[in-house]
Amino acid sequence: MVNWKCDSPARVAAIGECMIEHREVGTDLKSVPGSARRFSGDTLNTLTYMARLLDRGTAEPFYITALGMDPDSAAMLAAWEEEGINTAFVRRFRDKLPGSYTISTAQDGERQFSYDRDKSAARELFRDDYAESLSNSLKDLDLLYLSGITVAILPPHDREKLLNLLRTLRRAGVIIVYDPNYRAVLWASPAEARDWSGRVYLETDVAMPGFADEKALFDNAAPEQSCKRLADLGITEVIMKNGSSPCLVAAGQDIVRFPVTFQDGVADTTAAGDSFNAGYISSRLCGHDIAASIRAGQTLAGMVIQHHGAIIPRDDTPPLYRIIG
Ligand code: ADP
């Protein structure tokens, strides 16, 4: 059983990378009004939604990453603080910049992503002995959230430091929540991604994969099979998302299905999984059971996919108590 009981406010942290998003329209880069400089990253998306769902008395959210000393990095920090995210664990490097990516839309409407993140600041997060200092300063966290992207961007010897950090924090009672979020382009091979995801799963209390990623990595034919494989690893709470198909939960012996309410007018499924995770985790932190928390995840994801982009306007994000009803 995962012990979700936390002192208020719960100290929750996400660790990962946020990037600068550019949009290419024709040949004119950054020409869409209001979209000149947007910031996005899977772990940050989840943390942002958690910060919005939970009031300050309920949770204190921290983002752990590395940035440069440039104006984009300063703007990112300001934007996170504006969302109520604590940036005390954001490292700054003089010799580094944030990663970025460009979305171009082909004539047939298909979106293409090109990334420039090979030398990003976040890849160097564990430079020197920062992982060790985090293991000391984060012991009183309640929950640490990470994704496969967090793991993938680190050089292999720093991935070992991340695993050690997870082990130390877990021993100190921190709940480790992991979404493998597989991005083939970030890994040398599928085998490398499979190996590292497998190792992180062994340090995980709550697994929140999308079935598409599990299928791509572990070739399980059905979501039930994936759920069972993860439960057999000893993960006590397995939550499997599967687009518009039912979410599956393995907590104990049984696998339970939670159908997704039909969603009219899906505009863009970017961050569906990230926002689902935020709804689920926030609800669990507030003491709600698995069924209510799955509904919270599905409800928030259902709102997010009716908008374009990963982060919907703040005024359109209800607090958790209104989602739970
Ligand atoms: P991931 O990005 O982690 O693979 P999914 O794509 O499975 O996540 O989606 C996460 C959640 O978002 C689903 O469980 C569901 O609640 C919601 N969702 C995603 N796509 C749809 C859709 N087409 N219609 C309704 N809900 C959806």
Residue 60 CA, ligand 1 centroid: distance in Å: 27
- Ligand 1 geometric centre to CA of 272 (Å): 5
Q: Is the minimum distance from the CB of 216 to ligand 1 under 6 angstroms?
A: no
Q: Does ligand 1 have an atom closer than 6 angstroms to the CB of 305?
A: yes
141, 14 in Cβ contact below 8 A?
no
Respond yes or no: is residue 274 known to be catalytic: yes
Predicted confidence band of residue 175 (pLDDT cuts 50, 70, 90): very high
- Of 274, 273, 288, 291, nearest to 320 by C-alpha is 288
Q: Residue 248 and residue 258: Cα distance in Å, rounded? A: 6
Q: Which residue has the tokens 């057999």?
A: 232
CB of 52 within 6 A of ligand 1: the answer is: no
Distance 242 CA to ligand 1 centre (A): 6
- What global pTM score does this model have? 0.95
| Sheet order of strands, 59-67 included | 90-92, 59-67, 10-15, 143-147, 175-179, 206-207, 237-242, 245-250, 255-258
252-308 pLDDT per residue, tens: 778 999 999 877 788 889 999 999 999 999 999 999 999 999 999 999 999 999 998
Is residue 27 pLDDT above 50, yes or no? no
Q: In the chain, pLDDT over 90 holds for what percent of residues?
A: 79
Q: Which residue of the set 158, 205, 213, 274 is catalytic? A: 274
| Average pLDDT score, the chain | 92
Write down the pLDDT at residue 29.
Answer: 44
Ligand 1 atom 14: the closest Cα is on which residue?
A: 241
